[in-house]
Amino acid sequence: MEYKQRTVTCGELRKADDGRLVVLNGWVHRDRNHGGIHFINLRDRYGITQVVVGEQAPEEVVRTAEKLRVEFCIAVEGIVHARPASMVNAEMATGEIEVEVTSLQILSTCDPVPFLIDEESDAKEDTRLRYRYLDLRSNGMQKRIKLRHDFVKAIRDYLCGRGFYEIETPTLIRSTPEGARDFLVPSRIYPGKFYALPQSPQLLKQILMVSGFDKYFQIARCYRDEDARGDRQLEFTQLDLEMSFVKRDDVLLLMEQLFGYVFERTMDVKLPEHFTRLSWHDAMNTYGVDKPDLRYGLPLTDVDDLAKESTFGTFKAVLEAGGCVKALRAPASDTVAFTRKYITELEDAAKVYGAKGLAWMKIGSNHTLEGGVSKFFVGQERALIDRMEANEGDMILFVADQWKKTCNSLGAVRIKLARDLKLFDPKDFAFCWIIDFPLFEFNEDRGHWEAAHHMFSMPQAQYLDTLESDPGSVKGDLYDLVLNGYEVASGSIRIHDIELQKRIFRICNIPDEESEVRFGFLLNAFRYGPPPHGGIAPGIDRMVMIMAGQSSIKEVIAFPKNTAAVSPMDDAPSYVDQNQLDELHLIIKQPEQKG
């Protein structure tokens, strides 16, 4: 089909273009017909331009204009006219002009649309995903996809400038589960054998260090066959990075510099030169989570001593059983009243993490305590108010239980309070490092220790003699990067010694014979002069989501799956035909019907 190709985009014409003859290609965003005059908003990736089919337009143009519907793809030729001052639309970048159409061609038509293309679509998520090609036309999605592009580009520019090589690693690898379930790909050539999709390039990047590529990165796709839960996707993208001859602080510093550069370049946001560092224990103890949102304070405060002196039996019993009592100040608010109903809501948030209840009291005038458990703290009013730095109208909330349960439960209340009381600026970015993580976690279901992060992280030197005798107290050289309450990266200094690696495997219930079978290729590589090394892997989807002020990673992924792990647009996953199964030597065993 012959058509007029654009000479300008829909975002670029200004007053200075008055009188130019131009061609625009784009989509009919809106078409308003005022007494025979068509005002068409023509849209492309760059913006919107108003084109007008007026009374003097050639008859053929008028006839074509009558046929236009939203989202038709058209070519327009016309003359740019500066609008009189009173008609300038300050909301539009091209609002100083309009284009008087002299020729009009429909390049393709469009069925009635399931939703109008707007800044953001208000259609249901599955509808948006089914018609993702339309959804992606919205200004909101276009901006976010651009931000993602800018983000990745800035990462590449920065790291390449620092001497990193971008190296691809395979997506068909040996199955080496890293904690989650592997996606498997049956081999046609070797019946019964499978490739796995990488959960991350962890072992391959470590092997690249053995090969001497001392600064590596990759924008890597990772696959984890996990149950659909919350905002998870089966595949996600991370900046995978590894370096040789580095210690922990080298990795942390590099990340601070990288994100400093990237935020400035993509968002014009200046980050602090260094990010706050918190040990895992302090993060848990003070904020109740290992990924604290530091856009607001509200620390959890220890009140064991005051609880012990009180007359409240419940608190005293918990302390006697080795537990603790922590308190949180809820600042008085103009928008949220501390009613019984609201306190119950807060209590429900605490109970999710196992707390049996949430005790409370209010601060009255002249340093008095009112309501709830205040009657048990007679004589301690001043001490408690001072400790909590509380003021009239505030509330003090308490959880008493085992340390971890107390932290987690009151931490959840802290998060809910901050959201409900709007205690932070949603446009802020608060990064922090969590360091000194426990290396192992006890898996109650399986009855053995497991790596808290993955099995390749280095224990801190002072624990080397007590790894086996006291795994629970071992701290690792591992670190998480947290942004606004989300874990956005984790990494570690790695083990590069075969014997130490095997000790870790054994503690994680993987005997030597099994580790040779599963991880033999890594152990073999470690027989050939492995350098000390470490790295990290920031999640790209999540970081861009936070930067874009969104709460779901689907908003920054072009073609995500829905919460049921299905892609409504192409209906993946789908059945395949018998020939394909035969070639792969597969027989499908249908799950038994329930009932």
Among 78, 372, 438, 491, interactor with ligand ASP by CB under 6 A: 491
Cα separation, 358 vs 397, whole angstroms: 7
| Residues in the chain, total | 595
Q: Where are the alpha helices (DSSP H) in 211-267?
A: 248-267
Among 68, 145, 458, 537, interactor with ligand ASP by CB under 6 A: 537
> Could you say whether residue 200 binds ligand ASP (CB under 6 A)?
yes
Candidates 412, 391, 397; CA nearest to 301 is: 397
Q: How far apart are the first and last CA of the chain?
A: 59
Neighbour-count burial of 4, counting CB atoms closer than 10 A to its CB (0-12 exposed, 13-18 middle, 19+ buried): middle
* CA atoms 127, 131, 134, 139: torsion sign: positive
> Could you say whether residue 458 binds ligand ASP (CB under 6 A)?
no
Cα separation, 103 vs 47, whole angstroms: 21
Give the largest Cα separation in the chain, rounded: 92
Stretch that binds ligand ASP, among 326-334, 401-409, 533-541, 546-554 (CB under 6 A): 533-541
Place of tokens 């390749």: 456
Q: How far is the CB of 228 from ligand ASP (least distance, A)?
A: 19
Q: How far is the CB of 572 from ligand ASP (least distance, A)?
A: 24
Query: Who contacts 195 (Cβ-Cβ below 8 Å, separation ≥6)?
Result: 172, 173, 174, 175, 184, 185, 187
Stretch that binds ligand ASP, among 111-119, 367-375, 426-434, 484-492 (CB under 6 A): 484-492
Place of tokens 């014997």: 499
* CA atoms 511, 514, 516, 522: torsion sign: negative
Q: How far is the CB of 145 from ligand ASP (least distance, A)?
A: 24
Window 148-187: contact mask with ligand ASP (x via CB under 6 A) = ----------------------------------------
> Could you say whether residue 504 binds ligand ASP (CB under 6 A)?
no
Cα separation, 488 vs 238, whole angstroms: 10
Among 307, 350, 507, 536, interactor with ligand ASP by CB under 6 A: 536
Q: Count the alpha carbons within 13 Å of 486 in the hemisphere toward its beta carbon.
A: 21
Candidates 4, 38, 41; CA nearest to 23 is: 4
> Could you say whether residue 501 binds ligand ASP (CB under 6 A)?
no
Stretch that binds ligand ASP, among 11-19, 227-235, 407-415, 531-539 (CB under 6 A): 531-539
> Could you say whether residue 202 binds ligand ASP (CB under 6 A)?
yes
Q: Between 48 and 241, whose beta carbon lies closer to ligand ASP?
A: 241
Q: Between 158 and 398, whose beta carbon lies closer to ligand ASP?
A: 158
Instruction: Please work out, in degrees rounded to the nearest 5, the angle formed at the alpha carbon of residue 296 by the alpha carbons of 290 and 297.
Output: 75
Q: Between 31 and 225, whose beta carbon lies closer to ligand ASP?
A: 225
Q: Between 204 and 355, whose beta carbon lies closer to ligand ASP?
A: 204
Q: How far is the CB of 554 from ligand ASP (least distance, A)?
A: 20
Q: Between 530 and 535, whose beta carbon lies closer to ligand ASP?
A: 535
> Could you say whether residue 207 binds ligand ASP (CB under 6 A)?
no
> Could you say whether residue 210 binds ligand ASP (CB under 6 A)?
no
Number of residues this chain uses to bind ligand ASP (CB under 6 A):
8
Residue numbers at the binding site for ligand ASP (CB under 6 A): 200, 202, 490-492, 535-537
